[in-house]
């Protein structure tokens, strides 16, 4: 049961990160000079500043939505995470495949899948597990091998390493657009055309040059990754004991609900 559940999460992260940062990144490598007016810098210098700003944060909020050319919605994330491996948020698998709430604090992890998740990811037994949990979180320790994929996905350091490892993935010409606004924030858009896909990075034009949005668009794909709440702490609240159910107790139960 947990192998499929966690495997699905790993696939979701891989899809999101691939379109946002590896196959589709406009964040380039190399050092850039400091400048208070980022709009006067070259496209590559702005991309460098944005990459460095992203690599320097200790926590952030990440949200993703869209599709990657399959015609079906891709897994969507809405997650606040930090370098200590704490996270709080949700995952929606899309296409009525279900969703799950995720909370990780220290060495404890809580996961609350909805009924669609159980039904689609654990055929035959999902309804029984959903009935046993009865709206509660499934709880485990962070070192539980069955939840390793989830624990890794909650760690901002893993995300930042992917950015760093792919910093020199710069195929295609990088272009700078005119300064504009994005959700009320002043930004400089950078675009790159690669393999028929238009990739756009929106960099904050005031304050630190954080990447605020990455989009990937072509005739089939239309995906968006948003960043916010830089260096703001992950919420510390965790599910109370009466709303939690130990994962080992869950897996040892029969199909008779409580």
Structure token digits, residue 181: 């606004």
Structure token digits, residue 51: 């990459």
Q: Tokens 């390493």: give the residue.
A: 161
DSSP state of 73: P
**C-alpha 242: how far from chain center:** 29
Taking the CA atoms of 181, 183, 184 and 187 in sequence, report the sign of the dihedral they define.
negative
Gap between the Cα atoms of 190 and 226, Å rounded: 15
The C-alpha angle with vertex 226 and arms to 217 and 41, in degrees rounded to 5, equals 80
pLDDT reported for residue 29: 44
Structure token digits, residue 66: 């869209």
Gap between the Cα atoms of 60 and 77, Å rounded: 13
For residue 113, the cross-strand partners are 100
Whole-structure pTM value: 0.83
Ramachandran angles phi, psi of 209, nearest 5°: -80, 60
Residues 6+ apart with CB under 8 A from 48: 28, 29, 30, 31, 32
The C-alpha angle with vertex 107 and arms to 4 and 126, in degrees rounded to 5, equals 25
CA distances from 31 to 26, 36, 46, 53, 90 (A): 15, 16, 10, 12, 35
**C-alpha 139: how far from chain center:** 21
pLDDT reported for residue 238: 97
pLDDT reported for residue 112: 93
Domains of the chain: 2-252 (2.50.20.20)
Instruction: State the pairing for strand pair 244-246/137-141.
Output: parallel
Taking the CA atoms of 110, 115, 118 and 120 in sequence, report the sign of the dihedral they define.
negative
Q: Per-residue confidence of the chain (258 residues) as pLDDT tens digits? A: 444 444 444 444 444 444 343 333 444 444 434 445 788 999 989 988 999 999 999 999 999 888 766 556 667 889 999 999 999 999 887 778 888 899 999 999 999 989 888 888 778 788 888 899 999 999 999 888 877 767 777 889 988 887 777 666 666 688 999 999 999 999 999 998 877 778 899 999 999 999 999 988 877 768 888 999 999 999 999 999 999 999 988 878 754 444
């Amino acid at each position: 049961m947990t192998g499929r559940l966690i495997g699905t999460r790993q696939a979701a992260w891989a899809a999101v990160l691939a379109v946002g940062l590896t196959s589709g990144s406009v964040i380039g490598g190399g050092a850039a000079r400091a400048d208070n007016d980022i709009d006067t810098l070259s496209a590559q210098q702005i991309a460098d500043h944005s990459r460095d700003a992203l690599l320097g944060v200790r926590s952030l909020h990440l949200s993703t939505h869209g599709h990657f050319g399959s015609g079906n919605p891709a897994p969507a994330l809405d997650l606040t995470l930090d370098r200590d491996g704490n996270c709080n948020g949700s995952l929606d698998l899309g296409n009525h495949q279900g969703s799950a709430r995720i909370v990780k604090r220290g060495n404890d992890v809580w996961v609350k899948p909805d009924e669609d998740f159980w039904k689609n990811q654990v055929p035959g037994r999902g309804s029984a597990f959903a009935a046993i949990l009865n709206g509660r979180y499934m709880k485990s320790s962070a070192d539980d091998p069955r939840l390793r994929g989830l624990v890794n996905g909650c760690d901002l350091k893993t995300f930042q390493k992917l950015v760093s490892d792919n910093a020199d993935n710069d195929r295609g010409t990088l272009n700078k657009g005119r300064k504009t606004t994005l959700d009320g924030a002043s930004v400089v858009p950078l675009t790159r055309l690669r393999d028929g896909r238009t990739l756009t990075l929106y960099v904050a034009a005031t304050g630190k040059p954080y990447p605020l949005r990455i989009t990937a668009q072509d005739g089939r794909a239309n995906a968006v990754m948003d960043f916010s709440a830089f260096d703001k702490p992950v919420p510390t609240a965790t599910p109370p004991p009466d709303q939690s159910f130990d994962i080992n107790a869950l897996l040892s139960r029969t199909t008779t609900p409580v």
